[in-house]
Structure 1
Amino acid sequence: MNIVNTKKAPAAIGPYVQGVVVNNLFYSSGQIPLTAEGTLVEGTIEEQTHQVVANLKAVLEEAGASLETVVKATVFLSDMNEFVPFNEVYGEYFSAHKPARSCVEVARLPKDVKVEIEVIALVRA
């Protein structure tokens, strides 16, 4: 098991890591809309989703993967009424390549953000 850690995404704020690679698969921890410096991106679901994807891209790159190698995404929304604008931004990043995905509404997310995403991706050999 290889631990993935990059300064281009926010540091873990608890007893976990940004991600791990096991047998050529990358498993990310959930990413929320924090900048790499740890500043919370407040604002619309669209703004928060762009930051979450930027974080995912950074940890994926560090792992030797990319958005194009994501096989599964799990999305947590604080309000399913924001699904349509979330999905529009998500679709900007996953248009030609569409991984499997789950999307659920949850009662609350860390720091009261609107969106959290975790992914599983293939690592380039």
Structure 2
Amino acid sequence: MTIERSNPDGLHATPGYHHVTRVQADTMIYLAGQCPLTATGELAEGGLAAQTDQVIENILTALTAAGATPGDVVRTVIYVNSTDRGELAAVWTQLNESSLAPAFKSASTLLGVAQLGFTGQLVEIDVTAAL
């Protein structure tokens, strides 16, 4: 498998992700949107940072189960139940300082949204990986 990441001339500078991720792979892995639910199905308590930690843990568990690592991730979409740019930036920083950080070097989208699937849910992340 090969992953080529680039930022073509003519596009704005990015805070760590790449505009283009080109992948040649035998196997694609698509994770369902990972929510801040514990293994027992309870919503993680403690606010946005705690929920983001739970989502990170869930993604790492799912990637490991699929035989993948954060470095194999080729696309992420991050949904945050907020329109506050400071909260969005805090999630981005937390993700990029976590053990999942290599996943966010590929094509990545960060969105502030009005609502997510579970009452009280503040964050969800979609992940695509390639092997």
User: TM tier, shorter chain?
Assistant: 0.7 to 0.9
Cα shift readout 1:73-108 (whole Å, capped 9, x = no counterpart): 011111031112211211113159612101112221
The TM-score, its normalising length taken from structure 2, stands at 0.71
1:61 counterpart SS class: helix
Partner residue, 1:113:
121
Amino-acid identity (%): 35
Deviation at 1:52, TM superposition (A): 0.2
Deviation at 1:115, TM superposition (A): 0.4
Greater CA radius of gyration, 1 or 2? Answer: 2
- Poorly superposed stretches of 4+, deviation over 4 Å: none
Gap change, CA 1:116 and 1:96, over 3 Å in 2: closer
CA contact (8 A) 1:72 1:119 kept: yes
Cα shift readout 1:43-96 (whole Å, capped 9, x = no counterpart): 221111111011011111111111111111011111031112211211113159
Gaps of 5+ in 2: 1-25
Partner residue, 2:29:
26
Question: Which range is displaced more, 88-97 or 23-32?
Answer: 88-97
Alignment counterpart, residue 68 of structure 1, candidates 59, 71, 76? 71
Amino acid at match of 2:89: V
Does structure 1 residue 102 correspond to structure 2 residue 113? Answer: no
Gaps of 5+ in 1: 1-22
- Count of residue pairs brought into register by the alignment: 102
Partner residue, 1:89:
94
2:115 counterpart SS class: coil
